[in-house]
Amino acid sequence: MVERTPRHVEPVATDPSNAYQGVADAWAHGPAALYDKLAALTIAGAATQLRGKLVLDVGAGTGALCRGLRTAGATPIAIDTSTDMLRLIGDTAALSIAGDMCALPFARGRFAAAVSGFAISHIDAPQDALREMRRVVQPHGWVIVAVFGAAPASPSKDAVDDVARDFGYQPPDWYVQLKTRTEPRSNTPTLLNECAATAGLGSIEITDVIVDPELKSPESIAAYRTGLAHMAPFVASLPDSTRIAFVERAVAAVRKRGQAVRPRVLVLSSRVPA
């Protein structure tokens, strides 16, 4: 699988309702900076042990974890449902494949480790994704996953969202379900531990930390929020003059009542039993 290095995304069918299809460029200019920092945190505890190893990045997006894995000396393989997101990974991954995290197209024990950043919380059964990650990892190999932890509302995020609503924005149904139904299945240490145990993982450890990704300026916070998948299509749909006005008002609102973005992150580190 890694004897060659393809320069394209495999033409595998994807779900046409995939919310992350078509938002990669907005993501790269906003949220990517934050997620790159969170990726480094996610694999920090195992980085030295991943050097020289073949590692699967599940729900790879635009490649934040792949970049972190390359820096650690590992060889990343990327899988995501969105070919649009995967195209921005480029040669950082030895191979990029569009596919389902709950039906990984790899043989049992193919990888030394599997990692996932903020992806398993997007599905109704995160334990199914963890079970698949366990299946494709060798005995005693790592399964490492990061999710956002339950936290109070963010004034900065609320400021941008309030301005967006003034311009006609309505959160898409999938995003409402994400926040009210799917994320709450794994957004506390207890829930995430239960998912990992149900998936048959062992040596489970969960780190609960508030992260300062240095996302502090009103401009960078507004770019982060408006580049996320639930808002980027709305922003792109606005006429140029309206979009400029919206961004200016969003930045002003963050400057007036916002604060630095400091997400709560849960990092699951576990091992595949022998």
Residue 233 is assigned to a structural domain of this protein: no
Integer Cα distance of 161 and 111 in angstroms:
41
For the stretch 129-180, pLDDT in tens is 999 999 999 999 999 999 999 999 889 999 999 999 999 999 999 999 999 9
Rounded average pLDDT over 240-247? 96
> CA torsion, points 51, 104, 129, 5, in degrees to nearest 10?
30
pTM: 0.88
Residue 60 pLDDT grade (very low, low, confident, very high; cuts 50, 70, 90)? very high
Does some domain include residue 77?
Answer: yes
Residue 22 has pLDDT above 60, yes or no: no
- Do the domain assignments include residue 1? no
**Residue 123 pLDDT exceeds 90:** yes
Residue 38 burial (C-beta neighbours within 10 Å; 0-12, 13-18, 19+): buried
Is there a domain that residue 199 lies in?
yes
Residue with tokens 């239960």: 194
Let me know if residue 100 belongs to a domain. yes
- Given pLDDT bands bounded at 50, 70 and 90, which one contains residue 210? very high
| Total structural domains within the chain | 1
Domain that holds residue 142: 9-151+173-212+262-271
Structural domain includes residue 177 = yes
Position 13 in a domain: yes
The pLDDT value recorded for residue 215 is: 81
Q: Of 163, 177, 220, nearest to 30 (Cα)?
A: 220
CATH number, domain of 192, equals 3.40.50.150
Q: Could you tell me if residue 218 is inside a domain? A: no
